[in-house]
Structure 1
Amino acid sequence: MATRNIYETAFDEDVQHKSSSSNCPECSGHVATNAVETACEDCGLVIDDQQIDHGPEWRSFEDDDSNRKRAGTPLTARRHDRGLSTEIGCRTDGKGRVLSGSKRCQLARLRREQTQGRFQSKAERNLAHGLGEVRRVTSALELGGSIRDQACQLFRSAQREDLLLGRSIEAIAAASVYGVCRCHGQPLVRDDLVDVARVDHSGVTNAYKTLNRELGLPTQPVAPQSLIPKLASELDVDKRVRRRARTLAERAHESMVANGCQPSGVAAACLYLASREHGQSLTQTQVAAAAGTTPATLRARRTELTELIDGGVRVAPA
């Protein structure tokens, strides 16, 4: 048997050895154990290998463990491959040094081949396009990271249930964002979503109905008070008007006056009544246009709210 010198290790082996009390079963020689294998120092017999590494799964580039680093980023639902794809750089290497012209040309060819081979099927290509659209919409609407990740997961579920067949990918992506916002009770006006989405209003509406029907989304009804801050900001009203409008909206929601009514219409009526109480000149047309409703709807909700308010606040129509 050829003798192997265990001190001549490869680049990924640990040269720190530990003596063992047992003897070699082949020659009864001295046995040493490192992080990779247990071998005899006399004859080179490998007694045991592929041992379990009981060390930490992180490494630190400092003197202590305050700067822990792990290999790679965590898995994410935002990418079609969960974030495990390879990213090839352009002009600099890992240490920030500028690459030569020949090396940049070589990396350009590698990037082109890597881009062509990153999708294994048409479904995977559609998934990548849809997740990219979800990220674009959530970024344009300045939504949080949790909304973005859950919308990406909802889009994955829609593709898994074959809901993309015969439908627009952009519509399903926009409906996924809208559906997650509805599930969390976060106010999102559908018109604002249509402004940044690459699909019309009917496309988003039909796609959302499909997701809600087929996947059974736990959507919550939109409360009128959740629309007051955005509406007040668009109309640039005073803080007193905003607080009074929110109080009226909460009272309408608790007394079930807003049941079966358009939430934006109730919010517009509350803000209009509050502005009239505090002497701020806002017309019904201005408030209705900002809320995305009609003056007729605003007047109908105003009448119901006037009867609800203690003391019967009476305001003259603008």
Structure 2
Amino acid sequence: MALRDIYERTFDEDIPAETRPTGPCPECGGTVQTNTIETACADCGLVLEDQPIDHGPEWRTFEDQPGDPERTGPPFTPTRHDRGLSSEIGYDHTDAHGTVISVGKRRQVGRLRREQTRGRWTGKAEQNLAHGLTEIRRIVSALDLPTSLRDQACALYRTAAGEDLIRGRSIEAMAAASVYAACRCTGLPRTLDEIDAVSAVSRKRISNAYRVLNRELELPAVPVAPAEYVPRLVSELGLSTEARRRALEIARLASEAGVGNGCRPSGIAAACVYEAAREHGERVTQAALGDLADVTSMTLRAQWEKVRSVLDASRCELVDESDASH
């Protein structure tokens, strides 16, 4: 008798659970059965295991190619000039089986690696695109920004390169401007000075490049509210949760009163944090807070006076309302 007639080599996970008993239940001693979803006891309902291994094929079918299944692989990424589809020749001296490669074969692999490096880009434009995307990844990593913003900045730079906005301008400046534009479009509180601190070009060149992107691409940039800067300032100063909550409340009152119109939002946020720290008896110097907010102490004091006037007006309104109710 052949072995295939005795031992079952495969099984179908779509078969009902009654055909695959796996042993007694550790709780009640009942019958344990496995289906495509879980392994559970048929008597007491105890679930022993869920999410079993998928023994199906590893390829998938895309919507645009219903009749052409393909193997799974890494997803496309806008952070690479070829969207992450390129391959690299490694530097290992052993093959896949662990056998040491001969000297002649190593020389051949070295020549192949050199030719692959030369043929990586189809032209100068693609090489410049790769350089700009690399600069964006460096800036995002230095500022510890999220990966979603990195992808958005790379997509924005790719669009600018497609519109021929890079011609005649610095690649580093356009890369830094793309990161700043992505921050502005998503409402992330990052100032131009922070981008300039990690960029390879001056602040003026980044500002000019951002102005070009904003004008030519019509970016949906939104003004950053002072309340967006408050959590970072409070975290850097190590203030309490009560002070953070009070600073956010003051920042919202200042925005509703129009104090921050035409002013730097980080300065208004610093004034709100300073007032909240004073109300809760936490010591914060104007010089330290001004350095974190990238404003001078004189600007901080001027904005603080505006914030105090708004708070005094709100207190007077509350008193008037209480007197009118009585």
* Distance in 2 between residues matched to 1:194 and 1:301, nearest whole Å: 25
How far is the alpha carbon of 1:154 from its aligned partner?
0.5
2:303 paired residue number: 301
Q: Secondary structure at the match of 1:301?
A: helix
Residues 256 and 112 (structure 1 numbering): CA distance in 2 closer, same or farther, change over 3 Å?
Answer: same
Q: Which amino acid aligns with 1:284?
A: Q
Kindly state the Cα deviation for residue 284 of structure 1 after the two structures are TM-superposed: 1.9
Going from structure 1 to structure 2, the CA distance change for 1:150 and 1:232 (only over 3 Å counts) comes to: same
Return 73-82 or 84-93, whichever deviates more: 84-93
SS, match of residue 260 in structure 1: coil
- In structure 1, stretches of 5+ residues that fail to align are 1-61, 313-318
Q: How does 1:14-29 map to 2 (within 5 A)?
A: none
Cα gap change, 1:251 to 1:93, in 2 (>3 Å): farther
Q: Residue 203 of structure 2 aligns with which residue? A: 201
Aligned length: 251
Q: Matches of residues 94-243 of structure 1 in structure 2 within 5 Å? A: 95=96, 97=98, 99-102=100-103, 103-243=105-245
Contact 1:91 1:98 in 2 (8 A): no
Q: Is the contact between residue 75 and residue 83 of structure 1 (CA under 8 Å) also seen in structure 2? A: yes
Q: Distance in 1 between matches of 2:59 and 2:143?
A: 34
d(CA) in 2 for partners of 1:249 and 1:73? 44
Distance 1:252 1:132, change over 3 A: same
SS of the residue 1:311 aligns to: helix
Partner Cα distance (1:96, 1:304) in 2: 73
Deviation at 1:106, TM superposition (A): 2.1
1:252 to partner: Cα distance: 1.3
CA RMSD of aligned residues (A): 2.1
Shift of 1:281: 2.0
Moved over 4 A (4+): 66-69
Correspondence for 1:77: 78
Q: Which runs of 5+ in 2 are unaligned?
A: 1-52, 61-70, 317-326
Deviation by residue 1:139-176 (Cα, 9 ceiling, x = unmatched): 22222221111111100111112211221101101110
Residue number in structure 1 paired with 2:32: none
What is the rounded CA distance, in whole Å, between the counterparts of 1:96 and 1:303 in structure 2? 73
Gap change, CA 1:96 and 1:303, over 3 Å in 2? farther
Q: What is the TM-score when the length of structure 2 is the normalising length?
A: 0.72
Greater mean alpha carbon deviation, residues 80-89 or residues 129-138: 80-89
The structure carrying a bigger helix percent of its residues is 2
1:51 aligned partner: none
Q: CA deviation at 1:253?
A: 1.6
- The match for 2:280 is 278
Inter-partner Cα distance in structure 2 for 1:66 and 1:254: 58
Give the aligned partner of residue 65 of structure 1.
56
Query: CA offset at residue 269 of structure 1?
Result: 0.5
CA distance in 2, matches of 1:267, 1:63: 52
Looking at structure 2, the residues matched to 186 and 237 of structure 1 have their Cα atoms a distance apart, in angstroms, of: 22
Identity of aligned residues (%): 50
Whole-Å separation in 1 of the counterparts to 2:257 and 2:135 = 40
Hey, what does 1:35 align to over in structure 2?
none
Tell me how far apart the structure 2 counterparts of residues 289 and 63 of structure 1 sit (CA, whole Å): 55
Please say if residues 95 and 101 of structure 2, whose CA atoms lie closer than 8 Å, have aligned partners that are also in contact: no
Question: CA contact under 8 A between 1:284 and 1:295: conserved in structure 2?
Answer: yes
Which deviates more, 63-72 or 285-294?
63-72
Whole-angstrom distance in 1 between the partners of 2:161 and 2:85:
20
- TM-score in terms of structure 1 length: 0.73
Determine the C-alpha separation between the residues in 2 that align with 1:96 and 1:201: 53
CA distance in 2, matches of 1:191, 1:182: 14
Would you say the 8 A contact 2:183–2:189 is kept in 1? yes
